[in-house]
Amino acid sequence: MTHQDPVRRRDFLKTTGVLTGLLAAGSPWALLAPSRAWAVDLAAFTSSEGEALMAMARTIAPHDKLEDAAYAIVIQAVDGEAGRDANLLKLFRDGVASLGSAFAGASETERVEWLGKIESGAFFQTMRVKTLQFLYSTPMAYAHFGYEGEAFSKGGYLYRGFNDLRWLPEVPLADSGPVPVSG
Amino acid sequence: MAGFDLNDDGVVVIIGSGAGGGTLAHELTRRGIKVVLLEAGARQSVATFTQVPGDAFVQLSWLDPRTQSGTWSVAREFPTLPSWTCKTVGGTTVHWTATTPRIREWEVRARTVYGDIPGTSLIDWPIKFAELKNYYNLAERRLGVTRRNGIPGLPASNNFKVMYAGAKKLGYKRVHTNYLAINPRARDGRGFCIQQGFCLQGCTTMAKWSTLYAEIPRAEATGNLDLRTQSMATRIEHGEDGRVNGVVYRDAQGQEQRQKARIVCVAGNAIETARLLLSSASGKFPQGLANSSDQVGRNYMHHVSAFVWGIFNQPVHFWRGAVLAGVIEDETLNEPKRGFVSGYHLELASMDLPTIPLVGLPYGWGRDFASIMEDYRNFAGMLVLGEDMPQSGNRITLDADVKDANGLPVAHVHVDDHPNDAALRKHAQDQGVKLYEALDAKRVIRGNTTPAAHNMGTARMSADPRDGVTNAWGQTHDIKNLFVSDGSVFSTSGSANPTLTIVALVLRQAEYISRQMSARAI
């Protein structure tokens, strides 16, 4: 991966790797971000290790229309944890090495087959949990899956659709209760 | 708030500030009794609660290490987290879903009604339902339970509309928005439910009852409460006479302290309560405190629980609204012809996006897993909750190898499924599947059994001291001034979410302790 300007910044941050990509054209994130290009610095992993882990995360949870940036956030979080935990770093390093250099560029069918062979091991199991833990917490995932999240600042869902389902009958009042008009 | 001297031997020390300990602290202090309340966790408030699920999990959960064994699926799927409870002021009432059904009349006579089920250690409760009922009435008023005492039910959410329509197709009759300790209207100085869907992260309107803001501030206002936060009890001490006389704990600075006591009440939730009694073993009580029967830690119960998720072709947005605001009560009966004794509730359930792949869905990855997640908007959900059988070998012990940050052995949790538990779980999940299929669900998923939210039985009440640890008031058979004040005392689990029963028992216990103190009996 080639870069010009991030190099000095990476030295300053003592990073060892970087993941980069472009937000999809027309993505809501592209409208908000100053530029469609994104870069995530890695402190523990090299760029090629990061790319292999990113391919692994996409194989574990393949959502075709979910931004690469969401998966990069997963790798950034894992990188942070590995930087604080030498055992975890070794687990990931050795695991990525065992996948081989062709993994990141392989087809999904091949990646699934390779991961299936190491599925019962600690490396895959740890990466599976980390992927689920971090991926579905990203703002990109919230938007992609339609999850609206934090509710208090918007007055809860009481007047924002908690009972707006119309494809089934309404529940009789005797088995439910009145919607409060005011407290 | 009062501050009592470490050498004040007239105080009652309560360990744990949840449904049991927090309510007991209020009940004793309002009667003029001095209480030192030790809470291992920190104090949060509506200002510090977070609706970022991962952050709330770390902020509120009990995450000290524990170990596990047994055939129960949680031991494999959540090896480091047998139980999901809280370590914070207010205990598990901060993240509970506020579901407050009563135990049924026949459930307190489990041994008599179910008979001699092989492999179980069933007993009857040493308390008549008619008496328990009086305290349920008090507890329901105290908590402001919906659909009781003229308080309306919560309105129907999208998720409940699905449950209701499916339940009617199956012919179920007792289906409603549940008995909940959640205000549908502002009440008792607390706000009303604005359907946030973040019951588990701490209720920011305080619509949901919690000892954190409903009981403990009132106890503090009496001037008789000394609440010590981030204070982890490590040992209960006793004198030559065999009565307990103090509690050793680590304070917020990590310093060891020793608080003298007239009475000690343990309310650490059933795993920690058993651990503390066991780790307080001494020359006089080599098996641990109150353990001459060898029943401390045994008969651990956790309820049969499992999710069912219905995925539809249209949106449900099930995360909007109070999490457990719905129930089907038609299966809450003992009908052995179903293939098992005891009964279950089918309760509404939803789960936020970050948590559901980790906790709610069965193990998976790849395209099939991702396709389930793609339909997150279209999920409806329910939680199966049934009675589990007490077994002598399902127990909390002290781990021989693993130590906590204080160097003390952690709790080891051993759980084997009983055939009755497995049959009940299958029947209940089958009914859930049928319910969603009756509405032409696109797919139905049998979800996980999650880490136990309900922990019971590890210091159970028994008429015969050989069968349990405490009498009908939670007073230990062995030591008159040592009490257990949480779900540990349940003789059997029943099929009801336990908090209302814990509160009812503690209201009764507080009267008893107060009378016994006045009579100088303890």
User: A98-143: per-residue pLDDT in tens?
Assistant: 999 999 999 999 999 999 999 999 999 999 999 999 999 999 999 9
In this complex, do A132 and B358 lie within 8 Å of one another by their Cβ atoms?
yes
Q: Is the dihedral of CA A133, A138, A140, A143 positive or negative?
A: positive
pLDDT in tens, B226-263: 999 999 999 999 999 999 999 999 999 999 999 999 99
* b/e per residue A142-167 (b: at least 16 CB within 10 A): bbbbebbbebbeeebbbeebbbebee
Q: Of A65-74, B210-219, B338-347, B382-391, where does mean pLDDT reach its minimum?
A: A65-74
Distances (CA, A) of A55 to A38, A58, B123, B160, B204: 17, 5, 55, 39, 39
Of A133, A152, A171, the CB nearest to B160: A171
Residue A151 at interface with chain B, using a CB cutoff of 8 Å: yes
Helix (H/G/I), strand (E/B), else coil: B461: strand
8 Å CB contact between B450 and B308: no
**Domain ranges in chain A?**
6-157
Q: Which band of pLDDT confidence, cut at 50, 70 and 90, is reported for residue B1? A: low
Helix (H/G/I), strand (E/B), else coil: B181: coil
For residue A27, the model assigns a pLDDT of 73
Min Cα separation A55/chain B (Å): 12
8 Å CB contact between B348 and B159: yes
In this complex, do A145 and B195 lie within 8 Å of one another by their Cβ atoms?
no
Residue A166 at interface with chain B, using a CB cutoff of 8 Å: no
Sequence-ordered strand ranges (E) for A12-56: 17-22, 37-42
For residue B238, the model assigns a pLDDT of 98
The structure tokens listed for B199 are 């019951």
In this complex, do A183 and B366 lie within 8 Å of one another by their Cβ atoms?
no
H/E/C letters for each residue in B486-504? CHHHCCCCCCCCCHHHHHH
Residue B321 at interface with chain A, using a CB cutoff of 8 Å: yes
CATH ID of B12-518, from 3.50.50.60, 3.10.129.10, 3.40.228.10, 2.60.40.10: 3.50.50.60
Min Cα separation B39/chain A (Å): 28
Residue B357 at interface with chain A, using a CB cutoff of 8 Å: yes
In this complex, do A63 and B370 lie within 8 Å of one another by their Cβ atoms?
yes
Chain A residues whose CB is inside 8 A of the B361 CB are none
8 Å CB contact between B242 and B479: yes
For residue A6, the model assigns a pLDDT of 43
Q: Which band of pLDDT confidence, cut at 50, 70 and 90, is reported for residue A13? A: low
Q: Which band of pLDDT confidence, cut at 50, 70 and 90, is reported for residue A15? A: low
In this complex, do A165 and B315 lie within 8 Å of one another by their Cβ atoms?
yes
Q: Is the dihedral of CA B489, B491, B497, B500 positive or negative?
A: negative
Distance CA B274, CA B286 (A): 15
pLDDT at B464 over 60: yes
Distance CA B395, CA B41 (A): 25
Residue B164 at interface with chain A, using a CB cutoff of 8 Å: yes
3-state DSSP percent of chain A in helix, strand and coil, to 5: 50, 5, 40
For residue A21, the model assigns a pLDDT of 85
Provide the ipTM.
0.94
Instruction: Kindly identify which residue of chain A lies nearest to residue B187, measuring between CA atoms.
Output: A183
Chain B residues whose CB is inside 8 A of the A181 CB are none
Q: Is the dihedral of CA B52, B53, B56, B57 positive or negative?
A: negative
In this complex, do B177 and A175 lie within 8 Å of one another by their Cβ atoms?
yes
> How many contacts (CB atoms, under 8 Å) link A and B?
161
The predicted model gives B79-98 an average pLDDT of: 96
The owner of tokens 């020390």 is B13
Helix (H/G/I), strand (E/B), else coil: B272: helix
Distance CA A73, CA A78 (A): 9
The structure tokens listed for A14 are 């003592």
8 Å CB contact between B60 and B88: yes
Distance CA A162, CA B219 (A): 36
Of the candidates A176, A172, A60, the residue with the CA atom closest to the CA atom of residue A127: A60
The predicted model gives B185-211 an average pLDDT of: 97
Q: Which band of pLDDT confidence, cut at 50, 70 and 90, is reported for residue A182? A: low
8 Å CB contact between B139 and B500: yes
Distance CA A67, CA A33 (A): 13
DSSP bridge partners of B74: none
The owner of tokens 């015969």 is B464
Min Cα separation B357/chain A (Å): 6
Task: List Cβ neighbours of B95 (8 Å cut-off, separation of 6 or more).
Answer: B56, B60, B61, B86, B199, B200, B201, B202
Q: Which residue has the higher pLDDT, A40 or B266?
A: B266
Q: Which helix (H) or strand (E) holds B446?
A: strand B443-446
Distance CA B242, CA B291 (A): 13
AA letter at A14: K
8 Å CB contact between A149 and A142: yes
Long-range contacts of B461-465, Cβ-Cβ distance < 8 Å, separation of 24 or more: B461/B125, B461/B126, B461/B127, B461/B489, B461/B490, B461/B491, B462/B123, B462/B126, B462/B295, B462/B491, B463/B123, B463/B124, B463/B126, B465/B292, B465/B293
Distance CA B375, CA B329 (A): 29
**Domain ranges in chain B?**
12-518
pLDDT at B63 over 60: yes
pLDDT at A16 over 90: no
8 Å CB contact between B468 and B477: yes
8 Å CB contact between B265 and B38: no
